[in-house]
C-alpha cells in the first residue's frame, strides 16, 4: 500500500537515525581524540620534567630528580618508563627504575622535533612513546666554553588506562545510540500519527460522502494551512456536484412533467379511435401528428443538448456576415411581430466573423422567437449588431414584465419556464439551453441580464475573432 504515513515514517527514521549515527560517531571520535591528547599532554609534561631536572656540571651530567616528578618511574610500577642516551656516544646515562633489566628502543637517528608513537613496552603491553632531544641546563660554575653534550630522551607510558577509557567511551556511545534508536523508533511514528490525524479525519469525512449526502461540507476551521485549500476545493467540487445532481433530478422531474401531457393526450385519442372507429375525425389525426412532432422535437433537442454538453457537436466554421444573417432571421418573424402589435428596431452594423452558419442561425432564430412570443403587445424588440475586438456582439432586447431579476439565472435551465408560460405548448423550455450549448460549441458566449429600463437583454458575443 502506498501510504503517506509509511513513507514519511521510513524516510524520517532513515534520516534521523543517519544523523544520530553521524552525530554520535563524530562525538565519539572527538572524545577519543581529546582523551588521547590529554594522555599525550601528560607524557610531554613528564618529558619536560625530566629534561628540566637534568643539569650539566664540571663533573659531568647531573640528575636532580625528585619523587614529586618521578613517582611513576620507580621500581614499584611498570607503567611509566624513561631512558636517556648521549647522542655522540650512544651511552645510556640514566634510566627509570621501572625498566629493571629492560631497555627502551633507542631511535637510530636524532629526532628533529618531539615525536609521539605507539610501541611495545618492556612489560609486553602497548604504550605511547615520546622521543625528543635536548641539551641539559648548564649549572653555575660551568665554564662558558665547556662543551654540553646533547642527550636523547625516550619517555613511555602504558596505554592500558587509556584503552579502558576509550573502551568506556565507546560503550557509552553505543549505549546512547541504542537508547536513541529505540526512542526514535517509538517517537517518530507517534508524532506522525498525531500530526496526520487532521488528514485522516478529512479522508474519513470524504469517504462518508455519497450521492445522497452531497450537501455535506468539509469544515475548514482547525485544519492545518496545507489542508485548508484541499478542503476548500473539495467543498467547491461538492457544491458543483450537488448543483449537477439537483439539475439532473429537476430535469428528470420536468421531463416527466412535459411528457405526461402529450402522452396522456395520445393515449386518450388512441382509446377513442379504438372505441369509436366510425366517428374518427381527420382533425384528430392532425392533432395526433402535431403531438408526435412536438415529442419528436423534444427528443431532438435533448439529443442536441447531450451532444453539446459532451462536446460532440460538429462545428463547421466559415465566414458569416452576421448583419445579413440577422436581417434574414428577423424577416421570418416580422409578420408575427406585426400581428402581435410589436415594433422592431434593427441597428445592424456590417461585420463578418468565422462561425458555423447553421448553429448561429439556430441561436438567432430561438432568440427572435422568444422575443416575439414573450414581448407584451405594443412592446418593442431591439436588435443590434456591433463589431468588437473579438469579432461581433449581437444584442436582442425586449420588455419582460413577467420576469423578476432572480429569474434571469434560471433562463438557461432545461425545461424552465415562468409558470404563466407553461400553459402554451409552442415552447418546450429547451431553446435557451440549446442556444447556449450551440454558442459554447462555437467558442461564443450567450448571457442574459436586465438593463435599467426592465428590458431583458440577451448578448451573444463572438470569442474567436472577426474578419
pLDDT, tens digit, 9 for 90 and up, residues 120-175? 888 888 899 999 998 888 887 777 778 888 899 999 999 988 889 999 999 999 99
Specify whether 261 is located in the same domain as 350: no
Instruction: Judge whether 176 lies within some domain.
Output: no
Specify whether 289 is located in the same domain as 347: no
Specify whether 149 is located in the same domain as 254: no
Instruction: Judge whether 269 lies within some domain.
Output: yes
Q: Where are the beta strands (DSSP E) in 121-239?
A: 126-134, 137-138, 151-158
Whether the pLDDT of residue 42 is over 70: the answer is: yes
Residue 15: give its domain's CATH number: 3.30.450
pLDDT band at 423; cut points 50, 70, 90: very low
Q: How far apart are CA 313 and CA 315, in angstroms?
A: 6
* 460, 368 contact by CB (below 8 A): no
> Reduced to 3 DSSP states, what percent helix, strand and coil does the chain have, rounded to the nearest 5?
50, 20, 30
Specify whether 283 is located in the same domain as 324: no
For helices 197-207 and 160-195, give the axis angle rounded to 10 degrees. 30
Structural domain range at position 256: 228-309
**pLDDT reported for residue 71:** 66
Q: Which of 59-63, 301-305, 391-395 has the lowest mean pLDDT?
A: 301-305
Specify whether 48 is located in the same domain as 156: yes
Q: Which of 52-61, 164-173, 231-240, 444-453 has the lowest mean pLDDT?
A: 52-61
**pLDDT reported for residue 213:** 82
Specify whether 358 is located in the same domain as 429: yes
Whether the pLDDT of residue 412 is over 60: the answer is: yes
Specify whether 53 is located in the same domain as 145: yes
Q: How far apart are CA 174 and CA 25, in angstroms?
A: 9
**pLDDT reported for residue 246:** 79
Instruction: Judge whether 101 lies within some domain.
Output: yes
Q: How far apart are CA 360 and CA 33, in angstroms?
A: 89
Count up the domains in the chain and report the number: 3
* pTM for this predicted structure: 0.50
Please compute the mean of the pLDDT values over residues 387-410 and round it to a whole number: 86
Q: Which three three-digit cell numbers place residue 150?
A: 646533547
Amino acid at each position: 500500500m502506498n501510504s503517506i504515513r509509511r513513507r514519511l515514517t521510513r524516510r524520517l527514521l532513515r534520516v534521523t537515525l543517519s544523523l544520530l549515527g553521524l552525530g554520535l560517531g563524530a562525538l565519539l571520535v572527538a572524545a577519543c581524540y581529546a582523551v588521547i591528547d590529554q594522555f599525550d599532554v601528560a607524557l610531554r609534561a613528564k618529558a619536560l620534567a625530566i629534561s628540566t631536572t637534568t643539569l650539566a656540571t664540571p663533573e659531568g651530567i647531573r640528575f636532580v630528580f625528585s619523587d614529586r616528578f618521578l613517582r611513576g618511574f620507580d621500581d614499584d610500577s611498570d607503567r611509566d618508563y624513561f631512558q636517556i642516551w648521549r647522542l655522540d656516544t650512544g651511552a645510556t646515562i640514566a634510566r627509570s627504575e621501572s625498566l629493571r633489566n629492560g631497555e627502551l628502543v633507542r631511535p637510530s637517528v636524532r629526532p628533529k622535533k618531539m615525536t609521539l608513537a605507539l610501541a611495545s613496552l618492556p612489560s609486553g603491553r602497548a604504550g605511547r612513546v615520546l622521543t625528543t632531544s635536548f641539551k641539559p641546563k648548564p649549572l653555575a660554575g660551568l665554564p662558558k666554553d665547556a662543551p654540553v653534550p646533547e642527550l636523547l630522551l625516550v619517555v613511555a607510558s602504558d596505554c592500558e588506562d587509556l584503552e579502558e577509557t576509550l573502551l568506556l567511551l565507546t560503550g557509552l556511545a553505543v549505549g546512547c545510540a541504542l537508547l536513541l534508536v529505540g526512542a526514535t523508533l517509538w517517537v517518530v511514528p507517534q508524532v506522525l500519527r498525531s500530526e496526520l490525524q487532521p488528514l485522516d479525519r478529512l479522508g474519513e469525512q470524504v469517504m462518508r460522502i455519497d450521492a445522497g449526502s452531497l450537501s455535506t461540507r468539509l469544515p475548514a476551521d482547525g485544519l492545518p494551512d496545507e489542508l485548508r485549500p484541499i478542503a476548500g476545493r473539495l467543498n467547491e467540487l461538492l457544491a458543483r456536484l450537488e448543483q449537477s445532481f439537483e439539475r439532473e433530478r429537476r430535469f428528470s422531474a420536468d421531463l416527466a412533467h412535459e411528457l405526461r401531457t402529450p402522452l396522456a393526450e395520445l393515449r386518450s385519442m388512441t382509446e377513442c379511435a379504438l372505441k369509436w372507429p366510425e366517428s374518427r375525425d381527420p382533425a384528430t389525426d392532425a392533432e395526433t401528428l402535431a403531438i408526435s412532432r412536438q415529442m419528436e422535437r423534444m427528443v431532438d433537442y435533448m439529443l442536441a443538448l447531450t451532444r453539446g454538453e459532451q462536446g460532440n457537436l460538429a462545428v463547421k466554421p466559415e465566414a458569416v456576415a452576421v448583419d445579413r444573417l440577422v436581417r434574414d432571421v428577423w424577416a421570418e418573424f416580422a409578420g408575427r411581430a406585426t400581428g402581435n402589435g410589436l415594433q422592431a428596431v434593427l441597428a445592424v452594423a456590417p461585420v463578418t466573423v468565422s462561425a458555423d452558419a447553421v448553429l448561429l442561425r439556430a441561436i438567432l432564430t430561438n432568440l427572435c422567437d422568444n422575443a416575439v412570443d414573450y414581448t407584451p403587445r405594443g412592446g418593442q424588440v431591439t436588435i443590434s449588431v456591433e463589431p468588437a475586438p473579438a469579432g461581433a456582439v449581437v444584442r436582442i432586447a425586449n420588455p419582460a414584465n413577467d420576469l423578476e431579476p432572480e429569474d434571469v439565472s434560471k433562463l438557461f435551465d432545461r425545461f424552465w419556464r415562468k409558470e404563466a408560460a407553461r400553459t402554451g405548448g409552442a415552447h418546450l423550455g429547451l431553446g435557451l439551453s440549446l442556444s447556449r450549448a450551440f454558442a459554447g460549441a462555437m467558442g461564443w458566449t450567450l448571457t442574459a441580464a436586465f438593463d435599467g429600463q426592465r428590458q431583458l437583454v440577451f448578448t451573444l458575443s463572438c470569442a474567436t475573432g472577426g474578419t
